[in-house]
Amino acid sequence: MSLSTKEKRQIRLVFLGAAGVGKTSLINRFLQDTFDPKHRRTVEELHSTEYEATCGTQVRIEILDTSGSYEFPAMRKLNMKSGDAFALVYTMDDPDSFEMVKHLREEILEAKGDKSPPIVVVANKKDLGGDIKVSWEEALSTVELEWNHRLLETSAKDNLNVTEVFTEVFREVNLPSRLSPALRRRRETIPNGVKYKPPMNKTNSCSIC
């Protein structure tokens, strides 16, 4: 599926993965350049920011941080249907989290009815070093050769390849891939359950070219 800024003015990126793999940490590192080593359970949180593309089109980017417990399958299915692109996150010290990525990808394909939705697979916690238990060769073979998706090693703790994850996703949906550093300071967060979305202040827009 390919989208351009002229065709759609709102893009939703959905982060999915097992609990504790670092979805929230990756998002917070990207948006705020912060890292909290303590794991806090996420129910659902929506981050939103607005850009001005080179063509002059205003593009709203929404980043949906989902729960890893998946106690609400109906909500998960809805998030998959409403998402335009997906980041599937696993942690390199937990083989079960990689198996979860496989299941989530199948669910996305079923929900979207599309054999090639924009998906980036993220192997997080590269900083673990010797504790890594998921073979990079196995993951690479599955993700890039079998699925034809991009696989990136990251560390939210060390800020390794975090921006590259978002750049790759934006490229997948045909958004310009050069991002303003101001992005990290300009965001709007909408916790789960809050129905009112305050209007975006135009001073919060930034250009990408």
Catalogue all structural domains in the chain, each as residue range(s) with its CATH number.
10-178 (3.40.50.300)
Tokens of 59: 């593009």
Instruction: Write out pLDDT tens, residues 144-153.
Output: 999 999 999 9
pLDDT of the residue at 177: 54
Q: What does residue 49 show for φ and ψ, rounded to 5 degrees?
A: -145, 155
Residue with tokens 């238990």: 133
pLDDT of the residue at 129: 74
Tokens of 167: 């750049």
How wide is the angle at C-alpha 64 spanned by C-alphas 133 and 135, nearest 5°? Answer: 15
Cα gap 16→109, rounded to integer Å: 14
Tens of pLDDT along the chain (209 residues) come to 445 434 457 889 999 999 999 999 999 999 899 888 776 776 788 999 887 766 667 788 999 999 876 667 788 888 999 999 999 999 989 999 999 999 999 999 999 987 678 999 999 998 887 677 888 899 999 999 999 999 999 999 999 999 999 989 988 888 765 544 444 334 444 344 333 333 333 333 333 43
Helices marked H in 53-200: 73-82, 95-112, 136-140, 162-172
Q: Tally Cβ neighbours within 10 Å of residue 48.
A: 19
DSSP 8-state class, residue 144: I
How wide is the angle at C-alpha 112 spanned by C-alphas 111 and 117, nearest 5°? Answer: 130
pLDDT of the residue at 178: 52
**Which helix (H) or strand (E) segment is 89 a member of?**
strand 85-91
Cα gap 94→91, rounded to integer Å: 6
pLDDT of the residue at 198: 35
Please tell me the total number of residues recorded for the chain in this structure.
209
What per-residue string of b and e applies to 122-136 under the rule 16 or more CB within 10 Å gives b? bbbbbeeeeebebee
pLDDT of the residue at 184: 38
Q: Tally Cβ neighbours within 10 Å of residue 79.
A: 21
Within 8 A by CB and 6+ apart from 103, the residues are: none
Tokens of 95: 């083989």
